[in-house]
Every structure is written in structure tokens, then in C-alpha cells.
Amino acid sequence: MDQIGIGLAGLGTVGAGVYKHLIQNRAIISERVGLELAVRRIAVRSVGLVRSVHAPAEIITSHWEELVDDPAIEIVVELIGGIDAAYQLIMRALDAGKVVVTGNKALLAERGFEIFEKAAEKGIPIFFEAAVAGGIPIIKSIREGFIGNHIESIHAILNGTSNYILSKMTEESLDFPEALRQAQAEGYAEADPTLDVNGWDAAHKAIILASLAYGFWIGTNQIHVAGIETVNGLDVRFADRLGYKIKLLATIRTNRDDLVEAHVHPTLVPKQHVLASVNGVFNALMVRGDLVGDTLFYGRGAGQDPTTSSVISDLAQAAIWYDSGGKAFGFTPHGWYGECLPIEQVSSGYYLRLSVIDAPGVLAQVASILGSHQIGISSVIQPEGHEGDAVPLVLIIHDAPFDRMRTAVQGIQSLDCVKAQPMLLWVLS
């Protein structure tokens, strides 16, 4: 059986999983692909580090350049993470005519335009299924399964850590700090969970999905991102009372003018919506196409085995592309169309929680400011039994442009009757 040479850059959690399962599942992979995937060189930062897998010492190197320069390697797998070194590796590999597989979501979100421009120039595909939603085959589905569709919208839960924390806050009536501690104790959150809880891990994935769906790269300065750090147990309980669950939701959708929304933030999702039932560390994506209608993808969005599954899938497709002489399907850059809709112009419904003095006329003052910005109120909760000088006032707001809503909230915050910074969350409609 013909062999395809693989150079593996990175032997961390995912890299170790890829190497281990390429060895363990060699027979079934070879049978299905019709080629043997042979790891010929592995680049690591520290050669002497003890690892969970044991590769032959003669194929280990501390210089990733050896993967690019080795003529026996046809496919380079980038799993080192970060931006600068990974970018250099991928660009050098493409210049050398090697097929690239990567799971680096941050790199693709930051510098994907340059990378795919180089890939198009060289006529070489890049495979990146592992960059979004772990083992869920969402990249292939959008790229291939929905190739005849205009993608109308994608709503997605893309970060398992945040979803686990919000699930714990909902199920056990916890506040954010305690739910985060549980996530760290269970190994679902890093010691430094910043990128997970501040929304940027999900945002990087949303940028990649938008590029596939709409043909252009949204800049990191164009996507509106907010995390779950400010969500507290009070918001979770009020959302439940109003018929919602709070999820860190990525929204990517287009309107009739080819203007594309892209935003990631905590969102009130109606309990009857399918995404409201996605709990724990699981990811889910609802994709709507003009032909296929609504489709749902669900599974583990991170972890060694799910991500390894996606990398090996990409390796198989990359090997078939190479063996066919570059004629089998790979990533094909498509026409650039559409523009990013500024977040200020995006309309949504909102949840607004205020801490106000318990006195007559407060709601009238708040409603007056909202009305002056042509913003309507859908429902109001002002619970009794709260002690202290201030009480919560919760409003569900009709759809309004974000800039108008944000300006109204600034006006409300300046009222003497408002005693704390308002909490503003979006509502999925």
C-alpha cells in the first residue's frame, strides 16, 4: 500500500492523541483511505520532556523547519498553537508545496486571509476541521454538505467551558465564581480560563464559520464579543422565571443586503428552543440554509479524542487529495461577497436588569427614557421581598438597534433612582 508521509508539529494533548490513534487505528484508516498515513517526523519544543506517548527518538526534532525541508513528508500537521511560529510554519509549508492540516482557531481568525491567499496562490488546500467544535464535522458540512445552499444563519454554542459554567449556575443556583471553581476542579476550565469565559474562544470559531458561510474574513475588531463573567445567579433565576436559559451564543447571519451579523455574548434563549437544552461541556450548532432548512449539530467541542477524530479525518482527506494529483476536493476559496454589519445597526430583543430605589415613579422614569429612543417594553418583573435600599427591576425589551439600546441604557444609568450598573443581555428571537 502506498504511503503518505506526515510531519507532526506539536505533541501536546491533541498531537499525542493524533499520533497514538494513527498507530492504534492504522489498519482501519488504511483500509478506508486506501493509503497508509505514516508519521515520519515530529517537531516538539522540548525533546527531553516525558510525554504520554512514546515515539521513536529518531523521528523527534526540536526544529519545525525539518518538517518543511523533508522531501519524504507530504502533509504538515500544525498543532503547536499560538500565532507567530504557527503562521511561519504554515506559510513555509505552503511555499514548499506541502498540504497543511491545522486546528489553530486563533491563528485562522487572526491571519486566515493571508494564509488562504497563499494557499490559493499555490493551489494547495488547507484542512482545519479541528479548529471549530472539536469532533463535530461542521466545517465539512458547511463546505461540502451545504455547497448548494445560501447559509441564512448560524446560531451556535461553541465553548464547552462557558456552557458548563452556565449549566451549573442554572441547575445548582450557583454564582459565577463558584461555578468556575467547579469547572476547574473537574478539569473543564484551565487555571487561566480567560479566553473561554471572556467569549474570545467562541469568537475565533465564529470568525472561521463566517468566512466559510459568507466568503470573507471578519476582522477581530469587527465582531462584537462579551463574556459570561458579569452574569450572576440573579440573572439566571430571572431568565428562568421569564422562560429562558442563558447561553454564550455565537450568532452569524445575513440579511437581504448581504450584510453579515457576527456577535458572541450571553444570550437569553427561549426554553423551547433546541439550543436551550444543550448543557454541560457540549457544543451545538444550528445552521439554516435556503434549501436544507434548519439542521442541528451536537457533540463534544473539545478534548483529546473528539479533536483527534477531526484531525485524522482531515489527514485522510489531505492524503486522498495529494494521491489524486491535486484533483480531489479540498478547500476551494470562493467568491468574496458580503460585508460585516456594524454591531450598532444589529437589532435584537434585550433583557435589562436594574437595581433601583423602591419608590413610586421609578418605572415611569425608565420607560420615559426608553420611549424617547423609540424602544418598547415587552414585560416587567419587579419582585417583592428584597431587603435594602435597592431592589431589582427586570425588563424584557422589544427589538431595537444595539446603538439605540446602548444609548438608552447610558441615560437610564444616570438616573438618581438607579443604584448600580445595569445588566444588559441579548434575547434570541
Catalytic residue list: 205
Nearest to 379 by CA among 357, 363, 358: 363
Rounded to whole angstroms, the Cα distance separating 164 from 183 reads: 7
Name the residue among 224, 200, 214 with its Cα closest to residue 109. Answer: 200
Alpha carbons 288 and 296: distance in angstroms, whole number: 9
- Residue environment code for 39-69, b if the CB has 16+ CB neighbours within 10 A, otherwise e: bbbbbbeeeeeeeeeebeeeeebeebeebbe
Cell numbers at 98, concatenated: 506541502
Per 3-state DSSP, what percentage of the chain is helix, strand, and coil (rounded to 5)? 40, 25, 35
C-alpha 398 chain-centroid distance: 27
Look-up of cell digits 506539536: 10
Which cell numbers hold the place of 429?
428571537
Task: Tell me the β-bridge partners of 344.
Answer: none
- The cell numbers describing 26, all together, are 492504522
Find the distance separating the first CA and the last CA of the chain, reported in whole Å: 54
d(CA 344, CA 366): 21
Strand segments (E) across 94-182: 99-102, 126-127, 151-157
Residues with Cβ within 8 Å of residue 76, at least 6 apart in sequence: 6, 7, 9, 67, 68, 89, 90, 93, 98, 99, 100, 101
